[in-house]
Amino acid sequence: MIKSITMGFISALLMIATASAQNYVRYEQDGTASWGEMDGMTIHQLSNAPYLEGMRTGTSVSRSDVKLLAPVDPKLAFMTALNFKSHLGDREPAAYPGLFTIPVGSIIGPEDNIVRPAESKNLHYEAEMVVVVGKRAKNVPLEEAGDYIFGVTIGNDVSERDWQSSDIQWLRAKGTRGFNAVGPHLVKGLDHTNLEIEGRLNGERVQGQTSSDMLFDMNYMVHYISKYFTLEPGDIIWSGTMGSTKMMVPGDVYEVEIESVGILKNTVVQGK
């Protein structure tokens, strides 16, 4: 009886936390990009990015009348290699994060296609959680790092494995134009340390773990990165992926779902 009451209390708290979360998007209408706050199927336009204290302008649009863009606008995008034990294979966990960056121009939105370059033969999916930095971060103590995270969104770190193994650096394999899908929502008010992440290829579950399984969680990543680089509001950090990944071919659809955040869904098409 006590256990039942306790579980009911925990469920109620989770529902309250989810209900209090704030849901933001970036969208395009008539060639103009704007930030907005979601309220059901209505988007309330904001004067600026929510992490830059954007306020409602009084203008609203229907979700069906706009194209959703990636809900991020970073100057710097940091990724984390080998950050889930299930993705290590026979390798031992590293003593510090496997940090690297990608060009922000490689980011696409939730309504864009993933374009496989003509010479690509081994294009893989990678389901990931992405956090957005909310304020300037430099030499942040670990115990304060959570205060610098504004919110959570979803990412698919598309990776060309042949290029990744043959190139001296991972820039082409990880950062080619259009490889990194992000969206659809940026959600503030969630516990980013314990969210379920799932990846589905053509509807079949092929990846899945929680963010609590990360070897270096997002608080640590903010702390670690800020020792060497100054993070600005809007910069993003990717979690790294879990498990094993497989090749995608044109026509495939890959979905990444994170609880209380949404579903990122993109189709692979062949490039020229």
Domain residue spans of the chain: 2-67, 77-270
Are the C-beta atoms of residues 171 and 179 closer than 8 Å to each other?
no
- List, in order, residues 6 or more apart from 44 with CB less than 8 Å away: 36, 37, 56, 57, 59, 60
Token pair belonging to 218: 């997002």
Token pair belonging to 68: 């959703």
CA distances from 121 to 160, 162, 165 (A): 8, 7, 13
Look-up of token digits 């956090």? 131
pLDDT reported for residue 19: 56
d(CA 5, CA 11): 10
pLDDT in tens, the chain (272 residues): 444 444 444 344 444 444 579 999 999 999 999 999 999 999 999 999 999 999 999 999 999 999 999 999 999 999 999 999 988 877 888 899 999 999 999 999 999 999 999 999 999 999 999 999 999 999 999 999 999 999 999 999 999 999 999 999 999 999 999 999 999 999 999 999 999 999 999 999 999 999 999 999 999 999 999 999 999 999 999 999 999 999 999 999 999 999 999 999 999 999 98
* Dihedral, CA of residue 258, residue 261, residue 262 and residue 264, to nearest 10: -70
Q: Which CATH class is domain 77-270?
A: alpha beta
d(CA 55, CA 178): 30
CA distances from 98 to 103, 152, 176 (A): 17, 21, 20
Please name every residue paired with 238 in a beta bridge, in sequence order, or none if there are none.
130
CA distances from 189 to 76, 79, 86, 153, 208 (A): 23, 22, 28, 12, 22
pLDDT reported for residue 14: 41
pLDDT reported for residue 93: 83
According to DSSP, the β-strands at 186-188 and 22-29 are antiparallel
Token pair belonging to 62: 């229907």
pLDDT reported for residue 85: 92
Chain centroid to CA 182: how far? Answer: 6
pLDDT reported for residue 13: 41
Are the C-beta atoms of residues 243 and 86 closer than 8 Å to each other?
yes
Q: What is the pTM of this model?
A: 0.92
